[in-house]
């Protein structure tokens, strides 16, 4: 259930930046302390070729304190980087401080990380675009443009299904050396 309920959002986020990958490698597993529950930990690699790397790693079983708990999204490019800390997912449901930091390489030298001021909260503000589309449908008077297309959602769900198939297929066996 982890990929379908949680990682689907990360898959959608990556697709919004990079488009559809060529394929997916995935493994989703249960937590040893909750063997009767569905999967809660997942590793996903989206295949975009030899120069672009997109990884998702989730673990909904961290019980070792906040010091080493992590929840972030990071983009690293040739001209800089962006890192967003997803504070709501830390110390859930209370949450911790969230931030977005940006580093831009200017003139061949790196500059310092700059924090980007954030407004609003994850919910409901994170869904404002989607809700605007729903409101446009509700107030439809002739022409309207939905911000998300149905075929885009279907592509995300096809990728989710492919991740589950990859997880079920298992790893490449290592040849025996005798």
| Domains of the chain, start order | 2-169 (3.30.360.10)
Q: Read off the pLDDT band of 136 (50, 70, 90).
A: low
Give the mean model confidence (pLDDT) for residues 27-46.
93
Q: With b meaning 16 or more CB within 10 Å and e meaning fewer, what string describes 44-83? A: bbbebeeeeebebebebeeeeeeeeeebeeeeeeeeeebe
Give the mean model confidence (pLDDT) for residues 22-43.
93
Q: Read off the pLDDT band of 153 (50, 70, 90).
A: confident
Q: Which of 28, 32, 33, 34 is nearest to 6 (CA)?
A: 28
DSSP-derived pairing of the beta strands 53-59 and 114-116: unpaired
Cα separation, 6 vs 13, in Å, equals: 12
Q: Read off the pLDDT band of 50 (50, 70, 90).
A: very high
Residue 110 confidence (pLDDT) above 70: no
Q: Read off the pLDDT band of 119 (50, 70, 90).
A: confident
Residue 63 confidence (pLDDT) above 90: no
Q: Which of 105, 106, 100 is nearest to 86 (CA)?
A: 100
Q: Read off the pLDDT band of 151 (50, 70, 90).
A: confident
| The pLDDT of residue 139 | 57
Could you tell me the pTM of the whole model? Answer: 0.82
In contact, 100 and 80? CB cutoff 8 Å: no
Cα separation, 42 vs 14, in Å, equals: 16
- Give percent of the chain above pLDDT 70: 83
Instruction: Give me the residue label for tokens 């959608």.
Output: 12
| The pLDDT of residue 130 | 60
Q: Read off the pLDDT band of 140 (50, 70, 90).
A: low
HSE of 41, CA atoms in CB hemisphere, 13 A:
10
């Amino acid at each position: 259930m982890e990929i379908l309920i949680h990682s689907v959002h990360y898959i959608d986020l990556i697709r919004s930046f990079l488009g559809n990958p060529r394929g997916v490698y995935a493994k989703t597993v249960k937590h040893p302390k909750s063997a009767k529950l569905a999967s809660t930990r997942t590793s996903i690699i989206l295949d975009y070729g030899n120069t672009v790397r997109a990884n998702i790693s989730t673990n909904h079983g961290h019980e070792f304190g906040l010091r080493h708990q992590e929840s972030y999204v990071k983009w690293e490019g040739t001209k800089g980087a962006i890192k967003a800390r997803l504070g709501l997912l830390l110390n859930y449901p209370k949450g911790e401080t969230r931030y977005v930091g940006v580093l831009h390489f200017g003139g061949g030298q790196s500059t310092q990380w700059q924090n980007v001021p954030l407004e609003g909260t994850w919910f409901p503000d994170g869904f404002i675009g989607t809700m605007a589309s729903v409101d446009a449908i509700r107030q439809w008077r002739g022409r309207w443009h939905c911000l998300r297309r149905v075929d885009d959602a279907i592509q995300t769900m096809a990728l989710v299904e492919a991740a589950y198939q990859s997880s079920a297929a298992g790893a490449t066996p290592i040849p025996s050396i005798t």
